[in-house]
Amino acid sequence: MHNFIPPERFFPYLSWTDIQGMPDKENVVIIQPVGAIEQHGPHLPIIVDSAIGVAVVGKALAKLDSEIPAYALPPLYYGKSNEHWHFPGTITLSAETLLAVLKEMADSVYRAGFRKLVLMNSHGGQPQVMEIAARDLHQQYEDFLVFPLFTWRVPHVAKELLTPKELEFGIHAGDAETSLLLSILPEQVKMEKAVAEYPQGLPEDSLLSMEGKLPFAWVTRDLSRSGVLGDPTTATKEKGDRLLESVSDGWVQVIKDIYKFRQPRCKT
C-alpha cells in the first residue's frame, strides 16, 4: 500500500497509540501528496501527476535523515482538472469539493496533535486551491503551520536537460513529465504514440500569456488537439532519473526547513 513511500514513513502504517505517544508532535512534518487523474496525451497514463508526486516524496523521505520525523499521508489522487475534461478519462473535482476535502483532512491532522502540514501539489491546475486552504486553516488554527507547495518549485536540473522552448511551453505531457514517467513507470509509457504539440494561437507581442504574471483563462482544448503541450519525443529515462534525483534532493531540503520552521510573530 505504501508504493514508492518507505514503509516506516507511511502515516497509515502507524497505530493510534503510536500517534498518541509520538514525541515533539508539534514539529513532526505531515505531507499530503495531491495529484490528479487527467489526460496526458496519447502516450502517457492519466495518473502522471499523482505518480510523480508520490515518487518524489517517497525518494525524498528515503534520503531524509532518520532523526527528522516526517510522514506521508496516502495520496489524494483526484484534483481540480476541469481544464482537461474534454478528453476522456479525466476525473475532476470542483474547486469547492477539493477545498473541502483538504480542510477536513487537515482538521483531522490538527486534532491528532500535529502542527505542521505540507500540501504537496503536483498538478499545475490547482496551486490556488492549496493556497486558499492553507490560509484559511492557519486563520482557523493560529498554531497550525500549513505549507501550500508545488512539487516542481524546488531547485532541480531541468534547465540543464530541456530546451528553452520546452522550459517555457512544455507544461503538460512534454519532455520533463515523459522522462520522469520513463524513470518511475516505464511500462506505462507508449513512446511510439508520443507527439509534439506546442500551444497554438497564443497572443504575440502582448503582456498576456498562458501562464505567468498576466495570464488568461484557458482549457487544454483551446491550445492542443492531442492534449500535449510540449515535446515528449525527446524524453529519455536518463533525463527522468536525473530529474527525480534533483527534485527529491530539493524536497529533502524543504522538509528539513519545515521541521526547523517557527511561525514569525510580530512584536507588539
Q: Which amino acid is at 186?
A: P
Mean pLDDT by 10 residues, the chain (268 residues): 97 98 97 98 98 98 98 98 97 98 98 98 97 98 97 96 95 98 98 96 90 92 96 98 98 98 87
Is the separation of the CB atoms in 250 and 156 below 8 Å? yes
Helix residue ranges per DSSP H, the chain:
16-20, 48-63, 95-111, 127-140, 158-161, 164-169, 175-184, 220-223, 237-260
C-alpha distances (whole Å) from 27 to each of 23, 63, 260 are 9, 19, 8
Is 127 in a helix, a strand, or coil? helix
> Coil, strand or helix: which one is 60?
helix
Q: Specify the pLDDT at position 266.
A: 84
Closest by CA position to 120, among listed 255, 240, 262: 255
**What is the fold, at CATH topology level, of the domain defined by 25-256?**
Rossmann fold (3.40.50)
**Which pLDDT value is given to residue 160?**
96
What's the pLDDT at 268?
A: 73
Can you tell me which residue has the cell 531547485? 155
Closest by CA to 146, choosing from 257, 46, 31, is 31
If one counts every other C-beta atom within 10 angstroms of the C-beta of residue 186, the result is: 11
Q: How far is CA 140 from CA 117, 133, 145, 182, 252, in A?
A: 14, 10, 11, 42, 29
CA 201/CA 211 separation, integer angstroms: 14
CA separation for the pair 146, 127 (Å, rounded): 14
Give pLDDT, residue 146: 98
pLDDT for 3 equals: 93
The residue extents of the domains of the chain are 25-256
Cell numbers linked to 246: 534533483
By the 10 Å C-beta count (0-12 exposed, 13-18 middle, 19+ buried), 268 is classed as: exposed
Predicted local distance difference test score (pLDDT) of residue 201: 87
Given this model, what pLDDT does residue 200 score? 87
pLDDT of residue 73: 98
Cell of 199: 500551444
* Contacts with 200 (C-beta within 8 Å, 6 or more apart), sequence order: 223, 224
